[in-house]
Amino acid sequence: MLLSLLAACSPPNQPAEAPSNKHPNRLLGAYYFGAGYFTLVPENIRHDLDEMKKLGPDIVCIGITESDIKYNDGNIRFIIAAAHQRGMQVFAVPSRMAGITAGQPIEPPLFGYHHPETAARRRDGTPVVR
């Protein structure tokens, strides 16, 4: 599933007209928080991406959690397609994967839940809760 989401993040086929880039050797990326992957509102996503496009980013970065991969791949694909329609690339940023990557702190990682034996432990053997 993650591989298919990452493949969907590839550059758009037909780039939309972008604002003139004063620095043609640089790419500008914007991290998109607040997409509301569980409560996706298509018109809000379109509006947000239109506003981002006006500011000139070439890349939209979205955090992908384990829950997104399991439960929200349709919503993530929608965001990717909408960004591509505006000529922007999408970078999927692993967020809270297996408790080892940083990112949006909205949920505990599922890996740690399913594999409690991997939790960091204090000297007395009790798990360290992060």
**pLDDT tens profile 101-130:** 666 555 555 666 777 777 778 899 887 765
pLDDT (0 to 100) of residue 34: 62
pTM above 0.75, yes or no: no
Find all residues with CB under 8 Å of 12, minimum gap 6, and list them.
83, 84, 85, 87, 88, 89
The DSSP result for 22-52, as a single string, is S-TT---EEE-----GGG--HHHHHHHHHHH
**Residue spans per domain, the chain:** 2-10+27-118
Find all residues with CB under 8 Å of 71, minimum gap 6, and list them.
38
Residues of the chain where predicted confidence (pLDDT) is lower than 70: 1-23, 34-39, 96-112, 129-130
CATH of 2-10+27-118, one of 3.40.50, 1.20.140, 2.30.29, 3.50.80: 3.50.80
pLDDT (0 to 100) of residue 99: 61
pLDDT (0 to 100) of residue 90: 94
